[in-house]
Chains A and B, each alone.
Chain A
């Protein structure tokens, strides 16, 4: 019965690390831990996630919308998404660091690239799945291409696009952990700093990463619900029941 106890005490130690400052394992009166200390790393990781996700959206969404609207470039849009899954995130981060350099700007660019495939693919697929009769009806009322995209296709495609955005966001946030190899102080500092933070600090870092990932997921799931047109919700409820 000592093992469960030891595990339990490890986790209470981790929460203690999050809540109260303490001396670093390496000593010298250096204080680590506590809410402000941990938040500092978490904030950097969240900031770079937001920047990278915004850049991904700004690039992948318009491309996906246009390709999906025109029904062209399926190989590109879908193939890119599938290929993107096979590329190890750490390889992208390191290759970009080796080619363009380290620091916030470069990490944001690398993470932006990782965020592109799910958004692009989902946007394309979402637009292709829009009921053609709805598009025809819109055209019939005299809308031009841009109006059809923004007023009909985009709202109807929004839920599927959002699920791509969720995948991108989680992927970007998770990978931002590794950014502490290449010049950005994220929560990766905590999980790889066992010498100074001890097991408590490492587990604390992991707990905060996990909780924030879930918070991002929940928040974006909420957004997804908000952007789902009422008609679609009703339709789904009927299908689901």
Chain B
């Protein structure tokens, strides 16, 4: 490293430190323009919880890793004996792990729970968060499970495309694809092909035909658009890539095929009873600040900055004043 470089590095560090001070100040300021961070109060460590073993699970994609870590670290701060199992695969696997007692709980979307577990058709899933929550809670009760109240943010799958592609073809809604989709490749997770809220529904309900369906892991949902492997890709509305850049456009689901859902932490009733009152309190506290901009920001730190979900969750809890 040349001297010049070293100086520059030193300067960068100083600048970063200055920024950090500024940002921290900004966070503590309650009436700034960018919105306020509601202080949910520091999570108190309760010695009564120390004997209670809790295993937090999650499905295997970015948002779930982060949410799993947020719940796990929050519960740990309250004194619970927490371990994690954050790579459970799809919801079928996660639900089975929960029922088998392999995990104590995991974050699930109300829409996914209603659609996948209880076969509620997409158009009958309530768009109101509380309504969906009440319905899914009632269904889960029958199976000896329980759900805690939903997060502020909702997430759904969506048909995404490059903004340039959307402009060139005059696309704003999914229906606009009619007559154009036969020349376009759609990418989605392998199971999208047969899901009624994915390719199967786009074909059946919207009457669309695609040039080809390319199965890719959900980790590749933007890569396929960037590299031109697909013109359309199944994305999540809470994706970081949709927050800051105008590069991607989400097509409006004008026929209401793809339901949105807020996140609920699902546990078995047994676990909830044994864990005591702090359990529900902590879950409420840690998700209080999880609005759409916040979850997008957290997703960005993992998907774009390649930070570790555990660190991102820790920083979130700290910024929220929940842990020190």
Binding site for B on A (CB under 8 A): 24-30, 32, 97, 101-103, 180-185, 188-189, 192-198
Contact = CB atoms under 8 A, between A and B. Distances in A.
Contacts of A27: 119, 121, 196
Given A26-B195, A189-B190, A195 B116 contact: yes
Contact of A26 (B93, B116, B214, B224): B116
A175 to B, nearest CB: 15
A177 B215 CA distance: 13
Contacts of B97: none
25 contacts: A24-B194, A25-B116, A26-B195, A27-B119, A28-B201, A29-B196, A29-B204, A30-B200, A32-B194, A102-B229, A181-B217, A181-B220, A182-B217, A182-B220, A183-B187, A184-B215, A185-B190, A185-B215, A189-B193, A192-B190, A193-B190, A193-B194, A195-B90, A197-B191, A197-B194
Contacts of B190: 180, 185, 188-189, 192-193
B195 A24 contact: yes
Given A102-B220, A196-B194, 13 more contacts: A26-B115, A26-B197, A28-B195, A28-B196, A102-B216, A102-B224, A180-B190, A183-B220, A183-B229, A185-B190, A193-B190, A193-B191, A195-B92
A85 B90 CA distance: 31
Nearest to A24: B194
B88 to A, nearest CB: 11
Interface in B188-209: 190-191, 193-197, 200-201, 204
B195 A196 contact: yes
Contacts of A101: 227, 229
B194 A30 contact: yes
Nearest to B120: A27
Given A103-B214, A182-B220, A185-B215, A194 B92 contact: yes
Contact of A183 (B194, B201, B216): B216
Interface in B104-127: 115-116, 119, 121
Contacts of B278: none
Contacts, number: 88
Contacts of B191: 26, 189, 192-193, 195-197
B121 A28 contact: yes
Nearest to B216: A183
Interface centre among A25, A27, A185, A197 (most CB of B within 10 A): A27
A28 B200 CA distance: 8
Nearest first, the 3 closest Cβ-Cβ pairs linking A and B are: A28-B196, A189-B190, A181-B217
A27 B217 CA distance: 22
Given A28-B200, A194-B90, A194-B92, A189 B215 contact: yes
Contacts of A180: 190, 215
B91 interface: yes
A195 B224 CA distance: 23
Contact of B194 (A26, A97, A181, A188): A26
Nearest to B112: A195
Nearest to A193: B191
Interface in B230-289: none
A177 to B, nearest CB: 11
Contacts of A32: 194
Interface centre among B90, B93, B217, B227 (most CB of A within 10 A): B217
B18 to A, nearest CB: 36
B89 interface: yes
A101 B216 CA distance: 12
B215 A183 contact: yes
Contacts of A197: 191, 194
A170 B163 CA distance: 43
Given A26-B195, A28-B204, A183 B214 contact: yes
Contacts of A189: 190-191, 193, 215
A32 B92 CA distance: 17
A30 B92 CA distance: 18
Contacts of A185: 190, 193, 215
